[in-house]
Amino acid sequence: MKTILLSLLILVCVPMSAQNFAIGHLSTTYTDVSRNNRTIDVEIYYPAVTSGENAAPADATFPPIAFGHGFVMTWSAYSNIWESLVPQGFLLIFPKTETGLAPSHDAFAKDLAFCLTQLHAQHLDGNAFFFGKIAQADCVMGHSMGGGAAVLAASQHPEIAALAVLAAAETSPSAVAAASSISVPALIFAGSNDCITPASTNQLPVYQNLQSDCKTFVSITGASHCQMSDFNALCQFGEITCSPSPDITRAEQHAVIETYLGKWLKASLLQDCESGEAFNISIEADAAITFMRNCEQCQSLGFTGIAKSNTVVFPNPADTQLTFSIENPSEFRLHDASGRLLLTKNVQDKQILDVSGFPSGIYFYSISDPGQILKGKLVKK
């Protein structure tokens, strides 16, 4: 039945062309007259006819993504992101502001949103470089401080269509608090070995507060904070002062991000059901991650989520204890990798479950209240 439904969905969905686009590059400057003529230097990577500086854009429209850099980092540290996404048909714009030791998170958030506004304006301007090239559906992204700023931008501008962040950091004003006003699709990446912005105090509270009907939290097992990007000396210096260190290589961490990010963007921004189903299949089977989500991409395949759920389960991977933070009375069910039911428990509020007696391995859980269900994967150390 699921195969039949998927076939029907593919007929009505319009996925992006499978071609790999060349990467064009443009450096320019925007001026925000509403903020005392604030100057915003930007770097733009876009699908092009041929690779190179100021190359002609490819003949199509592309979803724009504004990406915020990490603390004292630069746009150039994220070639892993644009080299993955631009060939798939996305445009990446990087504001080069707030790179100092005392950045304004709020100003950076406004810069991210302004970049998207400018690109949409260029789509309608017959004299602009990107005339007729910018799709309506857009996304705000970022890493570390830039991830927190992306959360702020999404909360300040509900017209932004989606949010995706890598090891997002808490900001001032608070990204955690701002998440409670966000209802668009969201993808939150975390690293289980992130000692700079641990998930428990940064990404998990953001995920928990999001009011999105479709949100996904992906924790990359063994991943670190700085390996979300290319090598950056300043980020790396901060990371060597804390522990744990990463258990996987930078290339392995990037490969996991690439497995999910492009598929999620295509499903969320382009209603590409084929990519959405590939995302669904990967997330259930991937031993390199743990996850929580309240939806599936292309939900008509039969998954129901707890709308605007504030449920979180942590830590993940777990050692001896598992903590639940659950708003409504729910039933928790735990299965092993073969699908065998191991445990059923009624849960509410904040509760702790002793898992010390379970063997190491991968487990799947569901948390259900009447008529709805939240699913996730758990790794027991």
Last residue of a domain, one of 244, 274, 303: 303
Q: State how beta strands 321-336 and 341-354 pair.
A: antiparallel
CB 296 within 8 A of CB 273: no
Is the predicted pLDDT of residue 71 greater than 90, yes or no?
yes
For residue 20, the model assigns a pLDDT of: 92
Is the predicted pLDDT of residue 12 greater than 60, yes or no?
no
Higher-confidence residue: 315 or 169? Answer: 169
Is the predicted pLDDT of residue 310 greater than 70, yes or no?
no
* Residue 221, beta-bridge partner list: none
Q: Helix, strand, coil proportions of the chain in percent (round to 5)?
A: 35, 30, 35
For residue 4, the model assigns a pLDDT of: 36
- Under DSSP, the state recorded for 89 is T
Length of the chain: 381
Radius of gyration of the chain from its Cα atoms, rounded to whole angstroms: 20
Is residue 218 domain-shared with residue 332, that is, in the same domain? no
Q: Confidence band (pLDDT; 50, 70, 90) for 300?
A: very low
The contacts of residue 285 (CB under 8 Å, 6+ apart) are none
- In angstroms, rounded to a whole number, what is the distance separating the alpha carbons of residues 194 and 315? 13
Last residue of a domain, one of 303, 323, 338: 303
Is residue 31 domain-shared with residue 79, that is, in the same domain? yes
Is residue 231 domain-shared with residue 380, that is, in the same domain? no
Q: Which H/E stretch holds residue 336?
A: strand 321-336
Q: What is the pTM of this model?
A: 0.80
CB 238 within 8 A of CB 192: no
Backbone angles phi, psi at 20, to 5 degrees: -95, 120
Is residue 37 domain-shared with residue 78, that is, in the same domain? yes
Is the predicted pLDDT of residue 6 greater than 70, yes or no?
no
Is residue 361 domain-shared with residue 265, that is, in the same domain? no
Is residue 289 domain-shared with residue 344, that is, in the same domain? no
Is residue 252 domain-shared with residue 315, that is, in the same domain? no
- Helices 145-156 & 105-124, crossing angle to 10 degrees? 60
Task: Dump pLDDT digits (tens) for 262-294.
Answer: 999 999 999 888 899 899 999 988 999 999 999
Is the predicted pLDDT of residue 73 greater than 60, yes or no?
yes
Is residue 240 domain-shared with residue 330, that is, in the same domain? no
Last residue of a domain, one of 250, 279, 303: 303
Is residue 113 domain-shared with residue 156, that is, in the same domain? yes
Q: Confidence band (pLDDT; 50, 70, 90) for 8?
A: very low
Task: Dump pLDDT digits (tens) for 78-90.
Answer: 999 999 999 999 9
What is the count of structural domains for the chain? 2
Percent of the chain at pLDDT > 70 equals: 90
The contacts of residue 33 (CB under 8 Å, 6+ apart) are none
* Residue 52, beta-bridge partner list: 24
Q: State how beta strands 289-293 and 163-166 pair.
A: unpaired
Is the predicted pLDDT of residue 133 greater than 80, yes or no?
yes
Q: Confidence band (pLDDT; 50, 70, 90) for 169?
A: very high
Structural domain boundaries enclosing 28: 2-303
Is the predicted pLDDT of residue 74 greater than 60, yes or no?
yes
Is the predicted pLDDT of residue 111 greater than 90, yes or no?
yes
Among the listed residues 139, 137, 159, the one whose alpha carbon sits nearest the alpha carbon of residue 150: 139
Is the predicted pLDDT of residue 309 greater than 70, yes or no?
no
Is the predicted pLDDT of residue 181 greater than 60, yes or no?
yes
CB 195 within 8 A of CB 188: no
Is residue 250 domain-shared with residue 323, that is, in the same domain? no
Q: Confidence band (pLDDT; 50, 70, 90) for 161?
A: very high
Q: State how beta strands 361-369 and 341-354 pair.
A: unpaired
Is the predicted pLDDT of residue 175 greater than 80, yes or no?
yes
- Ranges 182-186, 311-315, 324-328, 348-352, most confident: 182-186
Residue 314's domain is classified under what CATH number? 2.60.40.3080
Higher-confidence residue: 183 or 340? Answer: 183
Is residue 159 domain-shared with residue 257, that is, in the same domain? yes
CB 48 within 8 A of CB 58: yes
For residue 130, the model assigns a pLDDT of: 98
Is residue 328 domain-shared with residue 259, that is, in the same domain? no
Q: Which H/E stretch holds residue 147?
A: helix 145-156
- In angstroms, rounded to a whole number, what is the distance separating the alpha carbons of residues 141 and 153? 9
